[in-house]
């Protein structure tokens, strides 16, 4: 199923898994799973970080819990002729 009708959308031939496996196997990449995240410590310890948690948590819920956007599909059937 495609969400959008665009001639430029597509999937990698073998999916996204091989791309990320190659990316994460680089010797300069360190993956830490099931690790609590301390923003201040991370900034002191690493030159670059990729935070994949909730964006509102990263900013210490400064604006409260954020509503996350999603795609809501609504079906509409029109009976009759268009002019």
List per-residue pLDDT tens for the chain, 83 residues long.
Answer: 566 677 777 888 999 999 999 999 999 888 888 888 888 888 888 888 888 888 888 888 998 888 876 777 788 888 877 66
Phi, psi (degrees; rounded to nearest 5) at 6 = -130, 135
Q: Coil, helix or strand for 39? A: helix
Give the side-chain half-sphere CA count within 13 A for 6. 6
Question: Are residues 60 and 67 in contact, defined by beta-carbon separation less than 8 angstroms?
Answer: no
Q: What are phi and psi of 15, to 5 degrees?
A: 85, -175
pTM: 0.49
Helix (H, G, I), strand (E, B) or coil at 14: coil
Only one residue has tokens 């948590």, namely: 57
């Amino acid at each position: 199923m495609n969400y959008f009708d665009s001639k430029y959308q597509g999937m990698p031939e073998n999916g996204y898994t091989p791309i990320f496996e190659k990316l994460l196997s680089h010797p300069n990449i360190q993956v830490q799973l099931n690790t609590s995240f301390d923003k201040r410590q991370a900034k002191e310890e690493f030159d670059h970080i990729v935070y994949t948690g909730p964006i509102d948590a990263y900013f210490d819920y400064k604006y409260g819990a954020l509503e996350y956007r999603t795609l809501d599909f609504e079906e509409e059937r029109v009976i009759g002729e268009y002019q």
